[in-house]
Amino acid sequence: MTQKALSGKKSVFSGVNRVRVSDLVIAFIVLLLSLTCVLPFIYILAKSLSSNTAVLSQKVFLWPVGFNVNAYSSIFRDGKMTHSLLYTAEVTLLFTVIGMLITICAAYPLSIKGLKFKGFFSFILMFTMYFSAGLIPEYLLMKDLKLLNTMWSLVLPLSFSAYNMLIMRSFFASTIPDTLYEAARLDGASDFRILFSIVLPLSKPILATLSLFYAVGRWNAYADAKYYITKQSLQPLQLLLNNMVLDAAGNDAISIAEGAATQSTPEVLQSAAIMFATIPIICIYPFAQKYFVQGTMIGAVKG
Amino acid sequence: MMKDRKKFKFHHRNSTLKYLASHWQLYVLLLIPVAFVIIFKYAAYPGLRMAFMDYKPAKGYAGSKWLGMGMFEKVFKDKDFFRALKNSLIFNFLDLALGFPVPVILAIMLDQLRFQRFKRINQTILYLPHFLSWVIIASVALSLFKPQSGIVNIILRDIGAIETGIPFLTEKWHWMWTYLLIGVWQNMGWGTIIYLAAITGIDTSLYEAATIDGAGRLQRIWHVTLPGIRPTMVTLLILNLGRVMGSNFERLSAFSNVNVKEFQYQLAIYVYEKGLAGSNFSKATAVGLFQSLTGLILVVAADRVAKRLGDDGLM
């Protein structure tokens, strides 16, 4: 939609159809900025596939030198990261399903015109977005609920997002016309029935978008894991990577090196670990990006 | 008269009951999210009592001493708190000052691009950093910016620009600018989306008129594009100003190291270190409450201002 409108405008004032210097300058700047988003990852990838000596003697730039996959096979042999990857996928899936169900349950009634006590319910659901109890009260709540050191501490507390609910509500309200709703009611359809046979089938794009919001958000978050999880087997991938690369001495990288009797130096191993955690995102990215843009537009208009 | 009103009231309540009876399913649905926020959000609010007492986990709420505002007095005399507050405010303002104009400029450049395919590919690439966690970004940055073996320093050394490696992430002043610029980089592409949408909404006849009047490209940008996206810019600026009390724990903790503690010590880190790591629950809760309250006030105020200026606002 954006593309079409933009290119339509272009033809109006580009007038003469020749490329000017300023066009090339702009294109060059944009290209440079794009390169800053790509080259770092290519560099890390090249490093993760290079030999220790090549990395040590600083010969690696954007292409592997002394190609080998030792670092990756160490990661697989050690199994900690692969386990964490599957575990994080499981947490993300559960989180997304629960989050979507709760969000639908909130957004559908609140999108209906004339719902009694709408303001009251909206307030209850949205207040938490503006005022949080803070880390310590929330931590103690997790403790009281006996959720510390369980995967549920990562699945439940964050799985309702008022922001996502707002986006879904405004989509429902603008996509499903009141007349359609009223006609269905007159035909004797119950509110449940309308939700399942009319609203949800008409809302597939927003369901996909918000599922991705939830999934990517969960996949990337790790602060709550740092607060609530101390057991290593329950740590999500991002936290594990944090411990391997960013924590003072990269202790976990060393333990991988020991556990898997690797020949790779910590630096190569860390590069491989970074790629290991990045590749899943890059795989879904081309597909997810479009939906993200759409969701953000709705969020910007009505959020 | 009295009778009439009574009758009206009765009628009114009756219609509400009737509505509830015929739409009970909607309320059943609503119960689920409401129960959910009560269990996982509202249930944490009573814990805010800790901010007003000297809470000792072993003694519980009943056994701990009530201090009233005492804990806040203590916090406001705490040097660490002021350092964290100062750092947070400075970093948030710099984040805004550096980070706010970049998406605007980039959006205008993208809009000006004549090659549609090229434009689309670049957009896709520029959005990428938004999808990566701070751990990944910080890990990559660490590898790129190491003083001795980081590729950036190697290149700078090879071309003879520097003699010894620049401690991008290991000396506090360098760290500050690196940290801030990485933030700008992370958001520059994603931030363009809303501006590109706003630019699309500009009436094309304005561009035509400007072209006929002999306006060049820069003049068209200055006199048509920028005024066209000004409401969006103002709204976003105000809403961002509402968040100056915020503090991003994930970003700060991902970029932490011993050499930069002085600047990295911001509110989220204060609360984490005093509270979870140091077990000083009351102090951390008090600071958290201070942060939540001032944040709430600022966000609501910002929203009021944004609404008064004629835009939708966020509530």
List of chain B residues whose C-beta atoms are within 8 Å of the C-beta of residue A222: 133, 135, 250
| Cβ–Cβ under 8 Å, residues B244 and B93 | yes
Q: How confident is the model at residue B265 (pLDDT cuts 50, 70, 90)?
A: very high
User: What pLDDT score does A5 carry?
Assistant: 43
User: What pLDDT score does A6 carry?
Assistant: 44
Hey, are the CB atoms on B254 and A242 less than 8 Å from each other? yes
For the segment B200-250, what is each residue's pLDDT rounded down to a tens digit?
889 889 999 998 988 888 899 999 999 999 888 988 888 888 888 888 999
B243: left (phi over 0), alpha (psi -120 to 50) or beta: alpha
Hey, are the CB atoms on A102 and B36 less than 8 Å from each other? yes
Token readout for B257 is 């190291």
Token readout for B282 is 């009351």
CATH topology of domain B73-308: MetI-like fold (1.10.3720)
User: What pLDDT score does A19 carry?
Assistant: 72
ipTM entry: 0.87
Hey, are the CB atoms on A26 and B132 less than 8 Å from each other? no
User: What pLDDT score does B149 carry?
Assistant: 82
Average pLDDT over residues B63-88: 90
What domains are there in chain A, each with its CATH number? 16-68 (no CATH), 70-303 (1.10.3720.10)
Query: Residue B21 pLDDT more than 90?
Result: no
d(CA B23, CA B157): 72
User: What pLDDT score does A55 carry?
Assistant: 86
| A179-183, B284-288, B302-306 — most confident range | B284-288
d(CA A4, CA A9): 9
Output the pTM of the full model: 0.88
Distance (Å) from the alpha carbon of A245 to chain B's nearest alpha carbon = 6
Within chain B, all domains assigned CATH 1.10.3720.10 are found at: 73-308
Token readout for B91 is 């970093």
List of chain A residues whose C-beta atoms are within 8 Å of the C-beta of residue B121: 34
User: What pLDDT score does B33 carry?
Assistant: 96
The whole-chain average pLDDT of chain B stands at 88
List of chain A residues whose C-beta atoms are within 8 Å of the C-beta of residue B312: 301-302
d(CA A34, CA A117): 49
Per-residue model confidence as pLDDT tens for chain A (303 residues): 444 444 444 444 444 556 788 889 999 999 999 999 999 999 999 999 998 888 888 888 889 998 988 889 988 988 889 999 999 999 999 999 999 999 999 999 999 988 899 999 999 999 988 899 999 999 999 999 999 999 999 999 999 999 999 999 989 988 888 888 889 989 988 999 999 999 999 998 899 989 998 999 999 999 999 999 999 899 999 999 998 888 755 555 556 655 556 677 888 888 999 999 999 999 888 888 888 888 877 777 654
| Cβ–Cβ under 8 Å, residues B110 and B120 | no
Among chain B residues, CA nearest to A224: B250
For the segment B26-62, what is each residue's pLDDT rounded down to a tens digit?
999 999 999 999 999 999 999 999 999 988 888 888 8
Query: Residue B173 pLDDT more than 80?
Result: yes
User: What pLDDT score does A2 carry?
Assistant: 43
User: What pLDDT score does A15 carry?
Assistant: 47
